[in-house]
Amino acid sequence: MVNRGNEIPKTFFSPRDHQVELLEKARKGNVIVPLGTGTGKTFIAVLLIKDHTAVLTDPSGKKKAFFLVDKVSIVEQQAQHIECHTVLCVGRIHGSRNADAASSLEKFNKFICNYEVVVSTAQIFLNVLDHGFIHLEDIALLVLDECHHVLGKNHPYRRIMHRYKNCSEDKRPKVLGLTASLINDKTPSSKLRQLISQLESIMCSDVVTASDIVSISKYGPSPKEFVIVCEDSCSVNSNEGVLLINTLRLNDEYDTKLKILLFIVIFQPYLIINFINFTYMFSEAVQDFCLKSREFNSEFEIDPRKQVLEAVRRTLSVLKQMGCWCAWKVCQFFQKQLKKHSLQKMLPEKQMKFLMMGETAMYQAKKLLDKKVFLVLMRKSKKFQ
Q: Give the lowest-confidence range in 68-82, 213-227, 255-269, 364-378.
A: 255-269
The reported pLDDT for the residue numbered 260 is 47
- pLDDT above 80: residue 134: yes
pTM of the model: 0.59
pLDDT mean over 247-268: 46
**What is the spatial distance between Cα 148 and Cα 179, in angstroms, rounded to a whole number?**
6
Q: Where residue 7 falls among pLDDT bands split at 50, 70, 90?
A: very low
Q: Is 150 left (phi over 0), alpha (psi -120 to 50) or beta?
A: alpha
- The whole-chain average pLDDT of the chain stands at 77
Which class is domain 5-216? alpha beta
Query: Minimal CA–CA distance to 338: which of 330, 248, 300, 346?
Result: 330
Higher pLDDT, 311 or 1: 311
The reported pLDDT for the residue numbered 82 is 93
- pLDDT above 90: residue 93: yes
The reported pLDDT for the residue numbered 156 is 94
The reported pLDDT for the residue numbered 295 is 66
- pLDDT above 80: residue 171: yes
Domain boundaries, the chain: 5-216, 238-383
- pLDDT above 80: residue 13: no
The reported pLDDT for the residue numbered 380 is 54
Q: Where residue 217 falls among pLDDT bands split at 50, 70, 90?
A: low
- pLDDT above 50: residue 254: no
pLDDT mean over 318-338: 84
Q: Give the lowest-confidence range in 29-33, 179-183, 245-249.
A: 245-249
Using CB atoms within 10 Å of the CB of residue 329, give its burial: 0 to 12 exposed, 13 to 18 middle, 19+ buried.
middle
The reported pLDDT for the residue numbered 360 is 80
Q: Which of 66-80, 215-229, 331-345 has the highest mean pLDDT?
A: 66-80
Task: Give one DSSP letter per residue of 127-176, joined into a string.
Answer: HHHHTTSS-GGGEEEEEEETGGGGGSTTSHHHHHHHHHHHS-GGGPPEEE
Say what percent of the chain tops pLDDT 70.
70
